[in-house]
Structure 1
Amino acid sequence: MANTSGSVLTLGETMGLFSGAQTGSFAHVAQTTIGIGGAESNVAVGLARLGIPVSWVGRVGDDSLGNRVVREIRGEGVDVRATLDPDVPTGLMLKEFRGRGTSRVTYYRSNSAGSRLSPADIAAGVVENASLVHLTGITPLLSESARRTCLSVVRRAHDAGVRVSLDINYRCSLAEPGVAAEAIGEVCGYADLVFGSPEEIALVSPVSQLREGTSFGTTSAEAIAGLVRSFDPDGRREVVVKRGAFGATSVNGGASVTAAGHTVDVVDTVGAGDAFVAGYLSGDVQGWTIEQKLARANACGALMCTIPGDWEASPTPAELDEFLDSGADPVQR
């Protein structure tokens, strides 16, 4: 039976992160800063800062970057269940700042420790004792063993009555659209709550023509509702369509709620989607209304954009209250 304590389980690859200390290409930037980043652990940190019990499962190399990953995530109050792999290294990503609010991320994760995630890494009871399991579409594209792990986890969750959340989070560098649609779609079949941009929702939609060169732009409410109906014709899922600065729309059982985004001085957009998801899930496991969940999620995503880093700006409840009480002005005076 599913746990009702509000605890969340997430799993995936977290890597070492080297970011340029100045704006420019690594062909010329002289210094970098070292950190960590990974979509699922970003969400875990965001949840922990919002007071939600959360566990993260992953594999890292038995190396200095792997040790840093474990220490940093655990230091944020996340229950870390990491396997140290002595045979392959921790994955690495490089982030170049090309201009204010614009960055380029390059991944070095082929045959990394994280890509070797296997069903055996997910201990007995860890899925069954959660109230919600959160995955992204990144993990099933890392390797065949990672794909099997995701399917094993969502099937275990389904059998135990544990709700499943999936952020599609498509990475074109990992797989071309047809391959990604199949792999992510398998996992999506078990999801109760799905996050994605309009393009990502279209990617995994059973209506294949939506995958072929569709451009959604700002996307009207009517277009979003039609897209969600194509993706989820039975209306059995809660589908959250992320639209960046334009806000987000949640569709549940045919009912649609839209919340506007916030205008902030954007420094770094990486991790904003993960912060949004953490905000939404924090309200979800506490039984909040859709309106309340969207309001928190949009504020979390906006605040994440104001500081460099994949997770460092994940807000606490006090910081969210301060931001919203100020009229969503990120400058506190």
Structure 2
Amino acid sequence: MGLVAAEGVGLLEHAHGFRFGIGGAESNVAIGVSRLGGRATWVGRIGPDATGDLIERRLRAEGVHTVAIRDQAYTGLMVRHRRTGALTTVDYHRAGSAGSRLGPADVPVDLLRSAAILHVTGITPALSDTARAATFQSVETARAAGVTVSVDINYRGKLWSRYDAAPVLRDLVSRADVVFGGPDEAALVLGADEAVADGLAALGPGEVIVKDGPRGCTGLIAGERFALEALDVTVVDPVGAGDAFVAGYLADRLAGAAPAQRLATAVAVGAFAVTVPGDCEGLPFRADLAALLSATDDVAR
């Protein structure tokens, strides 16, 4: 999507300036993985407009292999503003957009079968019936080829109701090998506030990672339990932290790192992301992570 972000804090109508860029969970993860040295491919539909041009150029510039299908519909947009210092509001303009017209035939079968990991989110199935079909068909094609399936639940209440989302997201999680979600998202999928990691693992995934923002994360990976605290950083923009976390975990998984290291990298990438404005602009490179973890001063000379 295109991203229109108001500068400053307060009512949108009083904003004195706006920043225009790109956003979206899947593109954030793809860029994050690429910056950390992994190979990533993004597949989606974009419109015949300047916003679509920007998305394609930005992804390619970040080293992401980009399968951008041009559609006659407009590219989707989100408008974001910080109502208070602690509350960010996001409005979506995606109904009828190019992204909502994604269909099963848009995702190359050979690309799926040759992947190491297929990563999808619970956002795409919310966009339309065809986008939902594309998501599930891609997952089944990957599973049949022995490809690891990663799912970030990513429930968006402005795109669909909890009633409509719950069974679809539960079905999606049950087909995953790796699943990410917050405590509230896990409760939505499970239908109750039970031990979320155990409940999600009972649906089938062998790796369950519960992202809990400033409270850190917990994981249940191949039967082993993990718990990591969040890093103490100054938060500038909390949006995109979850996507950054996922990118860190998947990049290290691709690199063959052990579960504890994957989670440590995920926490560090998420922490770095919130110190910079924007969805993907501030995602770190490996050298940035080393500097974050070893910094003793606020100036690098």
| Structure 1 consecutive aligned stretches of length 4 or more whose deviation exceeds 4 Å | none
Q: Percent identity, aligned pairs only?
A: 43
Q: 1:189 to 1:268 in 2, by over 3 A?
A: same
2:164 to 179, 182, 186: 179
Q: CA deviation at 1:236?
A: 4.8
In structure 1, C-alpha distance between the alignment counterparts of 2:108 and 2:205, rounded to whole Å: 29
Q: Show the counterpart of 1:94.
A: 79
Q: Which runs of 5+ in 2 are unaligned?
A: none
In structure 2, C-alpha distance between the alignment counterparts of 1:236 and 1:47, rounded to whole Å: 21
Matches within 5 A, 1:158-307: 158-205=143-190, 208=191, 210=192, 214=193, 226-233=195-202, 236-307=205-276
1:6-43 per-position Cα deviation (integer Å, ceiling 9, x unaligned): xxxxxxxxx11111133222212132111010000000
2:293 to 316, 324, 332: 324
Q: Show the counterpart of 2:32.
A: 46
Q: Which runs of 5+ in 1 are unaligned?
A: 1-14, 215-222
Q: CA deviation at 1:313?
A: 1.0
Task: Answer whether contact 2:197 2:219 (CA < 8 A) is retained.
Answer: no
Let me know the Cα RMSD of the aligned residues: 1.6
Q: Show the counterpart of 2:104.
A: 119
Q: CA deviation at 1:231?
A: 2.6
Decide which structure has greater helix share.
2
For 2:256, what is the secondary structure of its paired residue? Answer: coil
Task: Answer whether contact 1:235 1:252 (CA < 8 A) is retained.
Answer: no
Q: Show the counterpart of 1:109.
A: 94
In structure 2, C-alpha distance between the alignment counterparts of 1:179 and 1:277, rounded to whole Å: 25
Q: 1:175 to 1:236 in 2, by over 3 A?
A: closer
In structure 1, C-alpha distance between the alignment counterparts of 2:70 and 2:35, rounded to whole Å: 25
The answer to whether residue 3 in structure 2 is matched with residue 30 in structure 1 is no
In structure 2, C-alpha distance between the alignment counterparts of 1:156 and 1:275, rounded to whole Å: 26
For 2:249, what is the secondary structure of its paired residue? Answer: helix
In structure 2, C-alpha distance between the alignment counterparts of 1:99 and 1:203, rounded to whole Å: 27
Task: Answer whether contact 1:102 1:268 (CA < 8 A) is retained.
Answer: no
In structure 2, C-alpha distance between the alignment counterparts of 1:154 and 1:234, rounded to whole Å: 16
Q: CA deviation at 1:104?
A: 1.3
1:93-115 per-position Cα deviation (integer Å, ceiling 9, x unaligned): 11112344542111111111101
Task: Answer whether contact 1:54 1:78 (CA < 8 A) is retained.
Answer: yes
In structure 1, C-alpha distance between the alignment counterparts of 2:11 and 2:230, rounded to whole Å: 31
Q: Show the counterpart of 2:51.
A: 65
In structure 1, C-alpha distance between the alignment counterparts of 2:46 and 2:71, rounded to whole Å: 6
Q: CA deviation at 1:235?
A: 6.4
Task: Answer whether contact 1:100 1:267 (CA < 8 A) is retained.
Answer: no
Q: Show the counterpart of 1:5.
A: none
Q: Show the counterpart of 2:126.
A: 141
Q: CA deviation at 1:149?
A: 0.3
Task: Answer whether contact 1:192 1:236 (CA < 8 A) is retained.
Answer: yes
In structure 2, C-alpha distance between the alignment counterparts of 1:139 and 1:83, rounded to whole Å: 16
Q: Show the counterpart of 1:129.
A: 114
In structure 1, C-alpha distance between the alignment counterparts of 2:188 and 2:84, rounded to whole Å: 30
In structure 2, C-alpha distance between the alignment counterparts of 1:203 and 1:284, rounded to whole Å: 27
Amino acid at match of 1:149: A
Task: Answer whether contact 1:101 1:267 (CA < 8 A) is retained.
Answer: no
2:61 to 69, 75, 78: 75
For 2:150, what is the secondary structure of its paired residue? Answer: strand
- Under a length normalisation based on structure 1, what TM-score does the superposition of the two structures give? 0.86
Task: Answer whether contact 1:101 1:269 (CA < 8 A) is retained.
Answer: no
Amino acid at match of 2:30: A
Amino acid at match of 2:168: A
For 2:52, what is the secondary structure of its paired residue? Answer: helix
In structure 2, C-alpha distance between the alignment counterparts of 1:254 and 1:76, rounded to whole Å: 36
1:275-297 per-position Cα deviation (integer Å, ceiling 9, x unaligned): 00000001111221111011110
In structure 2, C-alpha distance between the alignment counterparts of 1:310 and 1:232, rounded to whole Å: 29
Q: CA deviation at 1:124?
A: 2.8
For 2:110, what is the secondary structure of its paired residue? Answer: coil
